[in-house]
A and B are shown apart, each in its own frame.
Chain A
Amino acid sequence: MISMKRRVLLRTGAVAAVTVATGFGRAAWAEERKSIRIGYAISKTGPNAGGAGITTLPNYLLWAKDVQDAGGLELPDGSRLPLEIVEYDDRSSAEEVVRAIERLANEDKVDFILAPWGTGFNLAAAPLFDRYGYPQLAVSAVTDKAPDFVKRWKKSFWMLGGGHDYAKALAAIMADAGKAGTLNGKVAMVSVADGFGIDLVSAARPAFEEAGIEVVYDKTYPVGTSDFTPMINEAKASGADSFVAFSYPPDTFAITQQAQVADFNPKLLYLGVGTGFPVYAKNNSENATGILSLGGIDPANAANADYRKRHEAVTGIAPDYWGSVITYASLQMLQEAIRRKGLDREAVAAEIASGSFETVLGETKLEDNQLRKLWWTGQWQNGQFVGIAPGDRAGASQLVLPRQSWKKA
């Protein structure tokens, strides 16, 4: 027992000793630092790996390559330093996220930490980013509480909006179509019983009510459901001509397939995460046309189109149409803020909060630490997932309703 515990002490002591040594070393070299250390913890294994592997990780890799190719990160004096990346696998566990962030901040002493994937993990990490003074550019986190979080954690930035934003945009679209006589004002909706689905459905219920849309079928299904036939049959029999699913990628794919089998042709079909994945268009080709979801892009934006090309060339997979481009834009903001302010995290955070940046999204500026210029609703049109709401935003495409019936392959 004693010898064992002593070993623990020794190990921890050794860890502490290394810390002290590197700490001193760093201070001594501060004048001639050789690199800028960027660290992150991401789900490479476990249930979150699928999401992190499409929206977040490829963009981190792409950005790192872009910076390296350009000769490193530029500092205010015009000099460039190469990146040194420290990467951990959080194994889809909140406890691991917490530990990895502590490790990045205290052991590796990285200059900046990139955000983890997912709403829950960004929240788990937020107090630590705050305590150690790192700016947190949380992209893959959809939360209505962002205004509160910004007050609590001053250097946190929330860049994907909240459930209410998306629900209100959808309700507005449906109300307009109802007035125009395109839709009958009734909707059937299903939602996944997990953070994203619940957030959206609880925002959608009041939004639909306010917009005068009648919800005739409203059910929640557990994560991991693979058979949606009962729900589709119920929705088909419900009399609604709009079908909304706040779903996760496997569900989104399954609902699309099973709706075709059931010959279920709602005039408006809105599906959740996964609709904007490149594989979705590939698997459904023509049949994707007209389907609505969250996110979108401005098809006329050349910077974005170029980004999509490079993303596919460098990482081997195409980016999704929702969070991917915003993730990359968040990194460009960080890069530009470092170019303007150097490695002082306080100043960089202030610059991100107040500055205006030229990114792949176009001119990007945060309001109250949140990115508000987003596409709340998008639609598949001509092989691209384009943004349609807010309709008054520059670059918005025109909504097409009703959507075509399923075509036989």
Chain B
Amino acid sequence: MLVTAVLSGLVLGGTYALLAMGLTLQYGIARIMNLAYGELIIVAAFLSYALFTYAGISPVWALLIALPGGFVLGYAIYGLLMAPLVRRARNAASLEIDSILTTFGLLFVIQGLLLVTFGANFTSYSYLNDAVQIFGTRLAANRLLALVLAVVLGAAIYLVLTRTLWGTALRAVAVAPGSAPLVGIDVERAARMAFALGGALAAAGGVVISMYQTFTATSGVVFTMKALIIVIMGGVGNILGALSAGLLLGLAETMVATYVDPGLTLATTYGLFLAVLLWRPTGLFGRAVR
């Protein structure tokens, strides 16, 4: 039972981690609190659904479309909506409020467009819903894919951030946006790249979860909130932190559901999150990009 619980917990956590990593880049490096993050996930989910249902294109191919698509979308959103706000912001606090309000507006716009296009119905299809046996536990292949993707993308981004010059520039912007220009870093460009990268990750997450989770045009908020909780728990801008916090949260929910009461899983999530906030406001794994 314990092995089963741990493995299912990790697989659930993989989904959470995958959903949260993009947001941690957007918020940690680009410094944009993107409330429309979940809507990007849903857009990708609908894209994957439409390709699969109407054109018979496998979600794996959709992933190859969604990754660059999410990148371009993130790039455009930053360039059109966020960059002017960043330029005019007097301090971090006013940028925070401006970005919350703008992305909140963006959330409604995307939601409205999805409603007009796809209607309000529950949308779902099933792909790769096959069992994979690991240590005698049957796990869903599509959920396992989310975990693998989370680990692979997380590790890749971590390596890019720590081992390349470009990544170092991004980290510099995250830690000290004020002094980064002094060493010749184009802060706006770095932030735009981080935001676009976050968009690509969100799109990847959307494609993967659409294989097994039911979604509607209005369910993006749920994903934003879950991602936000993980981002804060893992430390803002900390990609490995988001990965670990996501896995931890999945594990905690499964443990509670198995050994305490499934009715308390969400209460546990929020309780755990509030406790972490009070005990270590900078997150379990610290703030800066490591």
In the complex, A46 has a CB within 8 A of chain B:
yes
Contact B254 A229 (CB under 8 A): yes
Within 8 Å by CB of B265, from A221, A250, A257, A261, lies A221
Contact residues in A for B15 (Cβ distance below 8 Å): 226
Contact residues in A for B261 (Cβ distance below 8 Å): 219-220
Contact residues in B for A50 (Cβ distance below 8 Å): 120-122, 216, 218
In the complex, B129 has a CB within 8 A of chain A:
yes
Contact B4 A233 (CB under 8 A): yes
Contact with A along B115-152 (1 / 0, CB 8 A): 10001111111100111000000111000000000000
Q: A45-B218, A52-B120, A219-B262 are in contact. Are A254 and B213 (CB under 8 A)?
A: yes
Taking CB atoms and an 8 Å cut-off, the chain B residues in 208-222 that contact chain A are 212-218, 222
Contact residues in A for B126 (Cβ distance below 8 Å): 257, 283-284
Contact B253 A234 (CB under 8 A): no
Contact residues in A for B124 (Cβ distance below 8 Å): 250, 253, 279, 283
Contact A227 B12 (CB under 8 A): yes
What residue of chain A has the Cβ atom nearest to residue B115's Cβ?
Answer: A45
CA distance in complex: A284, B127 (Å):
11
Contact A222 B120 (CB under 8 A): no
Q: A50-B216, A227-B12, A233-B4 are in contact. Are A262 and B131 (CB under 8 A)?
A: yes
Contact A45 B266 (CB under 8 A): no
Contact B5 A254 (CB under 8 A): no
Count the B residues whose beta carbon is within 8 Å of the partner chain — how many? 43
Taking CB atoms and an 8 Å cut-off, the chain B residues in 1-23 that contact chain A are 1, 4-5, 8, 11-12, 15
Contact B140 A257 (CB under 8 A): yes
Most buried by B among A46, A257, A277, A408: A257
Contact A45 B212 (CB under 8 A): no
In the complex, B56 has a CB within 8 A of chain A:
no
In the complex, A258 has a CB within 8 A of chain B:
yes
Taking CB atoms and an 8 Å cut-off, the chain A residues in 283-297 that contact chain B are 283-284
CA distance in complex: A297, B263 (Å):
33
What residue of chain A has the Cβ atom nearest to residue B253's Cβ?
Answer: A227
In the complex, B175 has a CB within 8 A of chain A:
no
In the complex, A225 has a CB within 8 A of chain B:
yes
Within 8 Å by CB of A54, from B121, B131, B217, lies B121
Contact residues in B for A277 (Cβ distance below 8 Å): 122
CA distance in complex: A263, B112 (Å):
39
Contact residues in B for A53 (Cβ distance below 8 Å): 119-121
Q: A46-B218, A49-B115, A261-B139 are in contact. Are A230 and B5 (CB under 8 A)?
A: yes
In the complex, A71 has a CB within 8 A of chain B:
no
Within 8 Å by CB of A253, from B4, B122, B130, B263, lies B122
In the complex, A72 has a CB within 8 A of chain B:
no
Most buried by A among B122, B130, B131, B250: B122
Within 8 Å by CB of B262, from A231, A257, A284, lies A231
In the complex, B111 has a CB within 8 A of chain A:
yes
Contact with B along A132-171 (1 / 0, CB 8 A): 0000000000000000000000000000000000000000
A197 CB → nearest B CB, Å: 11
Contact A229 B120 (CB under 8 A): no
Contact residues in B for A254 (Cβ distance below 8 Å): 212-214
What residue of chain B has the Cβ atom nearest to residue A260's Cβ?
Answer: B129
Contact B120 A45 (CB under 8 A): yes
Taking CB atoms and an 8 Å cut-off, the chain A residues in 261-301 that contact chain B are 261-263, 274, 277, 279, 283-284
CA distance in complex: A260, B212 (Å):
12
Taking CB atoms and an 8 Å cut-off, the chain A residues in 184-222 that contact chain B are 190, 193, 219-222
Contact residues in A for B153 (Cβ distance below 8 Å): none
Q: Which A residues fall within an 8 A CB radius of B?
A: 43-47, 49-50, 52-54, 190, 193, 219-222, 224-227, 229-231, 233-234, 237, 249-250, 253-254, 257-258, 260-263, 274, 277, 279, 283-284, 317, 408-409
Cross-chain pairs A/B with CB under 8 angstroms, 27 sampled: A44-B120, A46-B218, A49-B120, A49-B218, A50-B120, A50-B218, A53-B120, A190-B262, A219-B263, A220-B261, A220-B262, A222-B262, A222-B263, A222-B267, A224-B222, A225-B265, A226-B213, A230-B257, A231-B262, A233-B8, A250-B122, A250-B124, A253-B122, A254-B213, A257-B129, A261-B139, A263-B138
Q: Which 8 A-B pairs have the closest CB atoms?
A: A53-B120, A49-B120, A250-B214, A230-B257, A221-B262, A229-B8, A261-B140, A230-B258
